[in-house]
Structure 1
């Protein structure tokens, strides 16, 4: 059975270190070439058919179990962080547990643009599991700069995620050259357009980038958090963990960058950012509407 669209494959030249899904097949230099999306990492690549190995369901399950275990560990650590933040909010809202105040929280609005519909679904599932309301939009990376302005007007987000797939190609230039990256220039243009709408770094918090993206350019044009400082691959769910930490931190509190990164699956090699305030607001009293 040959390679076709949606086949799960590995690359011989990389010892099948990552799983990829074939999303397109093209003719490149007279050879059949597959365009590949990473199954767990936000990486786009291409490879000739002779470099591909079909991954059977048993091997795929084995690799997937390893990734799911890492995801579970990361989520458990993250959940501990969120519980600590909630206890701190409760302590502050009740004057150190000395007052019986009833209070409520208003979290920020999240707009998540993703170039991959499968990854977007995975992210939305995690947002819901964590308890964050999100507007998820599938939008191809090349279309994002033109789409972002109207989307900001429509959803008025407090947090914006701009992600999808990316990769660096040494054959196209040095790491400092943004044209050597598959989609970084589109992410940069999208951040620029977003900042035209909301210039202030604390009024719209932006995460931008994917695997191996041009980190410095994204931060320079106005992203609060971005990938990838050491041009490594980032996990599909890493943007969600960053957003969740921001969402559950009070707007009165600055966020230490390391506190945001330490429970992601990729860490500081693949993710970075600048000091940023949270977006959570606490109100009181909480009075549920009574039915007459």
Structure 2
């Protein structure tokens, strides 16, 4: 991974719900932090080579502080436990990247759908939509009211704009009913666990491709690749051609050949390894690109996505 690292220090820590902490991060020297827009996430190095991505959920106009929210997960792959057990005020942490594959676009109306900690990237979007006087609605689902983080942030908005679905009180939300609020001109932004996102995607299946924008915290379930054999990868900038066998990723092959590629998660969720496609058809296997972006066939995440044809040409 070649992103330039930068240092941060935990300047504040707050419990916003059962098992949810909010961290405030600052530059140790007091310098202004890099600019970000709603939908952006940050990579944090959490020891022993572990890197995790967290959505920024504060105010983009605040150049002094980044804010993230982290859920304690019993089945954590390491990131959740590290944050909850080790990142207290004064702790140092190394950050990389500041990426946005969940870009907040201008629209007439917005439907925001959050599942649990998936509320985090939506908070700055809601603030912007409200400041623009756009029509918007938030549907926020969680196990219980006590488990739903950042509810205090939502108190600033009209009650009719915010609908809570604590599962222990209401049962699971019917996504067909939730998306019934949609009409042409509405963008749908959704973040949450995989089962939740799948239900939203199913409910939005008949909408135009550009309508639904989703951010995943964990990778999609992998299906069998379109092309089961090897394929040729053409590196357009050098004219070199390399073979990608079925048991290796494009990223691994590129690194073996000394090609400098940004990467972090290696599971198709962070967007670090985004690469332009010049020719060929991509078998998209990432959890980053929208349906519209997949259909365009001009970008791919080389850590997990593959070629759907025998030759693929990349802008490398």
More strand by share: 2
Which structure: greater helix fraction?
1
Output the TM-score relative to the length of structure 1: 0.37
- What is the TM-score normalised by the length of structure 2? 0.35
